Structure 1
Amino acid sequence: DVCRRFRIPIYFRKGRAVLTSGLVRACLNVLRCVAEGFPQGRFAALLDTDYFRAGGPGLARTLREVGFVAESARPLAECVAATRATDDPAARASGRATLAARGEECARVMAVLRPLEGRRTVAAHVRTFRRALGALGLRPVLQDDRALTAARRDVRARVRFEETLTALAALTQSMGRGPVTLDDFVRLLVAALEPQEIEDPLEPAGSVRALSVRDARGLDFDVVYLLGLDAGTFPAPRRESPLLPDGLKRAMNPLAAGLLRRKLGARAAGLPLAGCLRTAREASLEDPFLFFLALSMPERALVLSCPAKDERGNPTVASPFVDEVAACLEGGLVPQVLSSTALVPEAASCCEPAELLARAALDRWAPARTRSPDRSPGRPPDRLPDRLAAALRSALPDGVARMAAIDARAAIEARRSRYFLTPRAEGARKDALADTYVGRLAGELGFLEAHVAAMRWSPTRLERLAACGFKFFAAYVLGLHEEPPPELDVVPIELGKIFHRVLEEFLRAHPRLPADRDAARALGRAFLAQTRTIGAAAIPAKDRAFFDLTWLRLEAGLDELIVREHEAQEKRDREGLTVERRLEQPIEFALPDPAGGPPLTLFGLPDRIEVERRGPVAERLRVLDYKVTRDARRYAAALDPERELGRTAFQLPVYLLATLGRGTAGVSTDTELEGGFLVLLARRAQQRLIEPLPRALLEGVVTERIHALRAHARAGRFDVDPDPCDPWCPYRTVCRYQPPPLEDED
């Protein structure tokens, strides 16, 4: 802002890195896409970029629609064929031709890239690469003064890129280097491009240069501003790598040095190869050296700057480097604290209308400034006359409208801030501050009421509405759903699908375990060895190594489950009970409104419902849900009525209410009701969390809460008041939630 205001040119780095050019990144993506086995992300980026005539956004979307992950995981042709073989006649009739055409076009692009695979000399790689770029239709960018800055930069980057390819081909040929794989060629090309920069054609003299200390080595300046001098930033903490600890690095250094000398031959003479793997302590020694370099750069003045607070608003501690400089100066350093509003100039220093408007807004909405500091005690401060706003209204053509817009926006933000800062316990006060800008809809809501009235409610929808009304509104009223791209590894939701499917099949195949525990565990291992395809079919195709890792976790989870099930089976046998299981059976029922309103339709798919009987009498009705995680703490809260049960956790209560509402033979008012979670990867003491859920609680407090949530939705009460706020929420950038500040700890 300062450079823009005073028309001072600013330049970053010594120049712009070649690797930051969009054209160079697109070209390198071609090589990496082939070398990595055509992963969905890279192949979609290749099809979507404007640097190649081949492809288009429709083709990139096709990859997501057919569930393509990577050619090495499941070929594209198979993904297209599987999607075209859908059981939906309407989808088959309407999309067959389009899907076939797009699939063939993707296959043609893939066929153009396949010749890049293989082992050949660097010069041969360069020739093949250039042919592939030509076949893809690399768009030429004309070197024209009238072109955009980015286009001119791409021209210079392409020239440098072509020169690097030519030099690599000639150099490796003269050195007699043999054939290399495509992976090695990519690494060699990136290593050659990484240090290269594109100098700006304008002369940077008399400008501000924004550089890292490394980039500024060897340069001198009149004045140097050294930013970020807070502990944790400069110097930055260096921690040992969890995959390659320092002790292992020390042991590997002699072996690595010998390997490099054999690889480099005569070219290794004089190179310091003994410590090529740096430990955390050795890496931490670099920051004092860089600080010394920064101190040697200015010729007239050096300004040391550190932030008073970090990005979260927490106070920071000055870097120890600042303390060392202060200790070397007689009288130390005199700190100068700048206000957060220092970048808004005073009215007399403003140079353009935008700055005057910013000054007027700050004066009108900043805390009141007093006319005189010696006012009488108890007297409220007097504001200075607001002459600037009046002058702007009359001087600017749209001054009245712009000042009114500033005031309206400031009033909205002030009200929002008061709403977010009001504790949830002060319900009436918080409710009075709720308006449209925090999710409270107003006006004609007939369509919304009809939409909510016709809605079928699952536990997930209830929990989302209870935790954050805006998240529910965005997902189920506006229909803004995330579409995560396919991944090579098994993501958590897919991990849950695999576990649920395999456990369901195991319990169906073996409703009763052998009497001997070891025999039961052996039965589980034999079952997994025969049913690997069941788990693989539950999710899109994955990389084999990632799926093997998931299968190992499944083996451990199933083994622990068998141990728990065997203990429960022995206990039932001692008590003379039998068990009836309902596995993955969908439910749907109407929940009556105790207040006499219309019923609410609930549906879901419980993992497991158990009815323990003594003869024809059902003594215990239990709902169990599988969770594939190591942390069981949050599920304990979902079983506590004083914490989350019936407030933001509805899964188990809804399934129990549905089972009671559908009617189960032998179930009466004397039947004990239980709900719980089987946390498969947690420690043994936390794996089986089961608590009694009284019927009075379910049919009273929980039922009333469910109907109250629906009433809030029909009334348009989608307040931005998350409980708690999910930092990874996909709607986080839209709701603009402001968490209240945390109190300082004693």
Structure 2
Amino acid sequence: MITPRRTRLIRVADLHAFRRAIVMLSVDGSLPSTRSRLVVVPTRGAARQVRRTIEDVALSAARAVVLPDVVTRDQLYDRLCARLAAPPRRLTAFEREVMIHAAADEAVAAGAAPPFHLRPGLVAEVVRFYDQLRRQGQSVTRFEELLTDRLAGDTDLDRGAERMLRQTRFLAAVYRAYEARLARLGCVDEHALRERLIQHAAPDPVRHVVVTVADWIADPNGLSRADCDLLTRLPGLDAIDLIVTEELLASGFHQRIHDWFPGIDEMDASAIGVPPSPRPPILLAPIGAAERPVFVHRDREEELVAIARRIKTGDGNVGAGLYAGPSLDRTTVVFKRPLPYLYLAREVFGSAGIAYQTVDALPLAAEPFAAALDVVLEFVSSQFRRDAIVALLRSPHFRWSGTGLRSQYGDLSPSSGAIAALDRALSDARYLGELDRLRQLAEDWTGKADALPALHAAIAAADALQPLLDRAPASVQLTRLTSFLASRMAPASERQRRAQAAVLGILESLAAAHAEHDDRETTIDEIAPDLRRWIEDETFVSDNAGAGVQLLDAQAARYGEFDDLVIIGLIEGEWPERPRRNIFYPPGLLAALGWPSENDRRGAATAAFVDLLRSPSSRVILSTFTLDDEALVEPASLVDEVGRVRLAIEIDEVEGPPAARVFLDEALSLDPPAIGVLEGDARQWASARLARTAAADARYHGQAGTQRPRQLSVSAIETYLTCPFKFFAQYVLRLEEEPDDDEVMDPKRQGLFVHEVFQSFFAAWQERGHHAITPDNLDAARAIFAELAETHLARLPAAEAALERTRLLGSSVAAGLGDIVFRMEAERPVEVVERLLEYNLEGEFELTGPYGPRRVALRGVADRLDLLADGTIRLIDYKLSSAPNKSRALQLPIYGLCAEQRLQAHHGRAWTLGEAAYIAFRGPKRVYPLFTARADRDEVLNAAQEKLIGAVDGIERGEFPPTPTDVFFCGFCSFAAVCRKDYVGDV
């Protein structure tokens, strides 16, 4: 039996009257009537504003009131369910998705296969579409009938129609299987709960519902057709009051109200005692923009910067700033999307010292512990690779001592030094993952003992997580992951503990859902995408609801009483937001199921914007920007609706003082620095910074003071010529480069390997009585080279050996490195007397610079010196990549000069450098001679000596400025994190 009820539409002129009507209807009557009243709002933030507005009105009237239960749409169902005599168990969102996935498997097994692969993300869309259908009042059978009738006639000619028909049959089969499972369980979801609420009267029913939110067409958080049907048929409900502005009614909502609430009574707000609204606010406009009164900024951050400046420089006069009173609570900044404004506000308002408050929930995925979960997932899915091990051990969110990981390794608590030592050791061992290989390294450990605590912690963590790589029931896998996280969480702040609890709650809920409804066998790699999506969809409530400027979304702002209102982010695509598209069907087919048109949504969005402009009591400011992530954006077309609101426009002619220090960085960067804004340790640190040496001091620009003369390698001097600071970092500070993990040898190891192969070949070539390589013995050289190459290749993994074999011996499409070297020599007829391989050149050598000869201590290793019968030296340097730039290359000319001096009496004769060349194994050319004509020899050698002596002098003077020969190198430099980059202004 349907309870007779009073249903009224309260028409209000604007949001002032809207809020007054809410207050009057919310606290009307006695205490029992208030306890049985629900006020429906769109969001949690809107509920907070309603309660605050009621409290403010009661305070001004000096009377006590009992606050009503202010609820969102989802909370409305929670409250109604709780009042039933025997409340049924409601399925969680996790359970529903798992059940839908199981139902999809049933549908496929029954022959209703979908025309797509059912990924976890699609399962969530299947659930969402089911909810939308049912909220539109459509049954599964009716949905299938409607779309089958529309599509069946076109399937012979239209492949798209045929796919959609198969999709429709699949979805219908899934939904029937899901509903059958739901019935067997005896649980309810939202739709089954509606039926239960209509059929069973509550012993203490809700008597009065005040609806302040529009329908889902006008507001994503609004009521649906099925919700309205519930309210009209709910047993025990005596009264329904809908409060709607005239603007929203005129957008098409008025007709929809009468469709969903037949026979509803209409009345003006004055009939319930709502007083007339105050005069409209003033619209503040920039100079020269009265026709389009919008402040335009560069980006979102600049919008908040402008607001902060206006607040800090305001003096209470009209147009001088928003801060016009003792409290900022009456000022609000309104956005359509909370992010990234909530993150930017922390930086901008925090730096300006402006108190602010928010009620919007932030994404849980943005919390640090969510990233820590990603570190664990990557650790497992990478098969415990080196970089994943280091990331896990360095994570501040985990602890390794006192966690029960003692086992055979003792108590585990690796220091940062131990982790760094393990990082280097694993790189040197070319460890690429897998627990067995990690265990073997521990058993055969030859590295630094300092790394062992970190190694043992890594093995213990891998032991605990290894089962996740094997197939097991989903609930078991999730429980293992939860147990690992819970047992190793480091002590954290209250906010971080709440984030940890939220992440663990998702894992536990998903595990329970799988255990109850569909415990399919899976691996962590299959679960991880679904797990990440759940975390991305979850929000995290930040407790920042104190005092100060209020940052609100557009829905919540409708419910608050404010003097000044700033609407920010007015760009196309946000004001209004683009509706979420249905991924299954086009708008034409959805219209048959009751989906609204774009015009309906657009009209409601325009009405909400116009209402918001009239909402504050004093001033309105509109703000937009031109760049979003460096992409150009257009102002929202809603700005064109400002004219019809007919607000009085005030031109903003007052600017803050040019030297006003609004932000913390301005206080510290402008002269003289005002460190009084800092407190505690920060102030002491700033005082120390002010007392430091002036920034122009040469020590800040690469001057390290006189260096003790020492022996230098030629390659190190080449590094100095490339960038003095890189030399300083690598050879003075002795910083280590970050290691890389590759499945094959890195370029440095490849170079050493190739040098080793050629050294062994030429040594064997000489031992077997050969000298020069000529066209006659070229085949013999190839055979010996192939034999020795195979000996070296046998030490490499099979896959890597195959790559290196092709590089050394060649293939049918390209010559190998051996052929390149042999042909180069075979083309030169001079007899080779002796070969000196990997020849060590170390000691003092005489070099001639601009001021005459001097002795320089050098060291280096020449790849190959061929002593020829004519008394000349042929110097060969192998380069696995292309040849170096001759303007910086010193090895060939300097090695040549050093070899002449070292071999002065070798075999009883003098030797001179006759030929020097780089043999490059990549690039358009293979042979790069140091000089092409003997006449150029002295010029090239003299230039190289001058460069080297100049570099040595610079090193000994301690001059190490960051001046790379080409800033392109900075993108690949391993020492960029410690470089001051003084060159930036000179590029």
TM-score where L is the length of structure 2: 0.47
Cα distance change, pair 467–172 in 1 and its aligned pair in 2 (3 A): same
The 5 A counterparts of 1:75-224 are 75-84=437-446, 103-104=455-456, 106-133=458-485, 137-139=488-490, 141=492, 151-203=493-545, 207=549, 223-224=566-567
Aligned to 2:4: none
Stretch deviating more after TM superposition (698-707 or 506-515): 506-515
Q: Is the 8 A contact 1:586 1:604 kept in 2?
A: yes
Distance 1:51 1:407 in 2: 37
Q: Which structure dedicates a bigger proportion of its chain to strand?
A: 2
Q: Kindly tell me: are residues 79 and 703 of structure 1, through their superposed partners in 2, closer, same or farther at Cα, counting changes over 3 Å?
A: same
Q: Distance in 2 between matches of 1:18 and 1:56?
A: 29
**Whole-angstrom CA distance in 2 between matches of 1:654 and 1:706:** 8
1:478 is matched by which residue type in structure 2?
A: L
**CA offsets 1:240-284 (integer angstroms, 9 cap, x no match):** xxxxxxxxxxxxxxxxxxxxxxxxxxxxxx95399xxxxxxxxxx
How far 1:591 moved relative to its partner?
Answer: 1.2
> Which whole-Å CA distance do the structure 1 matches of 2:789 and 2:585 have between them?
49
Q: 1:506 to 1:182 in 2, by over 3 A?
A: farther
Provide the C-alpha distance between the structure 1 equivalents of 2:731 and 2:826, rounded to a whole number of angstroms.
Answer: 45
Deviations for 1:557-606, whole angstroms, at most 9, x for unmatched residues?
A: 9934344334334423xx35347443333321321254677622211122
Higher relative contact order (CA 8 A, sep 6+): 2
Instruction: Report the alpha carbon displacement of residue 177 of structure 1 after superposing the two structures with TM.
Output: 4.7
How much does 1:203 deviate? Answer: 3.6
* 8 A Cα contact 1:490 1:550, kept in partner: no
Contact 2:398 2:488 in 1 (8 A): yes
2:420 maps to 1:61: yes
Does residue 836 of structure 2 align to residue 582 of structure 1?
Answer: yes
The answer for the alignment partner of 1:272 in structure 2 is: 584
The 5-angstrom pairing of residues 286-435 of structure 1 reads 299=613, 302-306=622-626, 319=632, 321=634, 346-347=658-659, 349-350=660-661, 358-361=669-672, 435=698
Note closer, same or farther for the CA distance 1:565–1:715 as it changes in structure 2 (3 Å cut): closer
* Residue of structure 2 equivalent to 1:608: 864
Query: 2:699 matched to which residue of 1?
Result: 436
Deviation at 1:46, TM superposition (A): 2.5
Contact 1:16 1:197 in 2 (8 A): yes
The one of 903, 923, 928 aligned to 1:689: 928
Kindly state the Cα deviation for residue 304 of structure 1 after the two structures are TM-superposed: 3.8
Deviation by residue 1:338-384 (Cα, 9 ceiling, x = unmatched): xxxx999535x55799856755459xxxxxxxxxxxxxxxxxxxxxx
Q: Secondary structure at the match of 2:970?
A: coil
Residues 1:652 and 2:892 aligned together? yes
Counterpart in 2 of 1:470? 725
Shift, 1:36, TM fit: 1.9
Residue 66 of structure 1 aligns to a residue whose secondary structure is helix
- Cα distance change of structure 1 residues 137 and 167 upon mapping to structure 2, 3 Å threshold: closer
Measure the CA separation in 1 of the matches of 2:802 and 2:952: 44
Which segments of 5 or more consecutive residues in structure 2 lack a partner in the other structure? 1-304, 309-348, 401-412, 559-564, 575-581, 587-604, 614-619, 644-653, 677-682, 767-772
Asked whether the equivalents of residues 353 and 663 of structure 2 are also in contact (C-alpha less than 8 Å), the reply is no
Summarize the Cα distance change of 1:585–1:65 in structure 2 as closer, same or farther, 3 Å threshold: same
For residues 334-733 of structure 1, the aligned pairs below 5 Å read 346-347=658-659, 349-350=660-661, 358-361=669-672, 435-441=698-704, 445=706, 448=707, 451=708, 453=709, 455-484=710-739, 486=741, 490-508=745-763, 512=773, 531-534=792-795, 559-572=815-828, 575=829, 577-578=831-832, 580-594=834-848, 599-611=855-867, 613=868, 616-629=869-882, 635=884, 637-638=885-886, 644=887, 648-663=888-903, 665=906, 671=912, 673-683=914-924, 686-692=925-931, 696-697=938-939, 700-725=942-967, 726-728=969-971, 729-733=973-977
| CA-CA distance at 1:169 after TM superposition | 1.9
**SS in structure 2 opposite 1:194?**
helix
Per-residue CA deviations over 1:517-566 (Å, capped at 9, x if unaligned) read: 89987887776555324456xxxxxxx87786676656659934344334
Query: In the alignment, residue 584 of structure 2 is paired with which amino acid?
Result: P
- What residue identity is the alignment partner of 1:303? S
Residue in structure 2 matching 1:72, options 434, 437, 451 = 434
The SS at the match of 2:945 is: helix
Report the CA distance shift for 1:204/1:625 in structure 2 as closer, same or farther (over 3 A).
farther
State the shift of 1:662 in Å: 1.2
Q: 1:499 to 1:82 in 2, by over 3 A?
A: farther
Distance 2:621 2:981 in 1: 43
Q: Distance in 2 between matches of 1:75 and 1:301?
A: 64
Which ranges in structure 1 are unaligned for 5 or more consecutive residues? 87-94, 142-150, 211-215, 235-269, 275-292, 311-315, 331-341, 363-388, 393-398, 417-434, 537-543, 639-643
Cα 1:720–1:562, aligned 2, differ >3 Å: closer, same or farther? Answer: closer
Shift of 1:462: 1.2
Shift of 1:37: 1.2
Q: Residues 204 and 14 from structure 1, CA distance in 2 versus in 1: closer, same or farther, beyond 3 angstroms?
A: farther
Q: CA deviation at 1:650?
A: 1.2
Asked whether the 8 Å contact 2:422–2:451 carries over to 1, the reply is no
Give distance in 1, aligned partners of 2:420 and 2:692.
Answer: 42
Q: Note closer, same or farther for the CA distance 1:529–1:654 as it changes in structure 2 (3 Å cut).
A: same
Name the SS of the counterpart of 2:472 in structure 1.
Answer: coil
TM-superposed deviation, 1:15 = 3.5
Tell me the CA shift for residue 200 of structure 1: 1.1
Native 8 Å contact 2:836 2:864 kept in 1 = yes
Corresponding residue for 1:641? none
Q: CA deviation at 1:628?
A: 2.3
Identify the residue that residue 300 of structure 2 maps to in structure 1: none
Q: TM-score w.r.t. structure 1 length?
A: 0.60
Match of 1:254 in 2: none
Give the drift of 1:161.
1.6
Contact 1:457–1:601 under 8 Å retained in 2: yes
TM superposition shift of 1:101: 6.4
Determine helix, strand or coil for the equivalent of 1:617. coil
On the 8 A contact 2:477/2:523 being kept in 1, the answer is: no
Write the letter of the residue equivalent to 1:110.
A
Which structure would you say has the larger Rg? 2
Give how far 1:727 is off.
Answer: 1.3
Tell me the distance in 2 between the aligned counterparts of 1:219 and 1:526: 79
Task: Say if 1:17 and 1:196, in contact at 8 Å, map to a contact too.
Answer: yes
Q: Which residue of 2 aligns with 1:48?
A: 394
Q: Secondary structure at the match of 2:441?
A: helix
Q: Counterpart in 1 of 2:980?
A: 736
Separation in 2, partners of 1:129, 1:103: 21
In structure 2, how many angstroms separate the alpha carbons of the residues matched to 1:716 and 1:524? Answer: 47
The one-letter code sitting in structure 2 at the alignment partner of 1:202 is: N
What amino acid is aligned across from residue 922 of structure 2 in structure 1? L
Q: Is the 8 A contact 1:346 1:359 kept in 2?
A: no
Q: Name the CA shift for 1:352/1:169 in 2 (closer, same or farther; >3 Å).
A: closer
1:13/1:716 CA distance change after superposition, 3 Å: farther
Relative to structure 1, the CA distance from residue 546 to residue 198 in structure 2 (aligned partners, 3 Å threshold; closer, same or farther) is farther
Indicate conservation of the 8 Å contact 1:164/1:192, yes or no. yes
Could you tell me whether the CA contact under 8 Å between 1:116 and 1:182 is conserved in 2?
Answer: yes
Deviation at 1:123, TM superposition (A): 0.6
3-state SS of 2:537 partner: coil
Contact 2:720 2:951 in 1 (8 A): yes
**What's the C-alpha RMSD, in Å, of the aligned pairs?**
5.1
Aligned AA for 1:319? L
Deviations 1:170-195 (A, max 9, x none): 33344435201221122322222122
> d(CA) in 2 for partners of 1:548 and 1:73?
25
The aligned counterpart of 1:24 is 370
For residue 600 of structure 1, give the secondary structure of its aligned residue in structure 2: strand
Offset at 1:690? 1.5
Secondary structure in 2 matching 1:606: strand
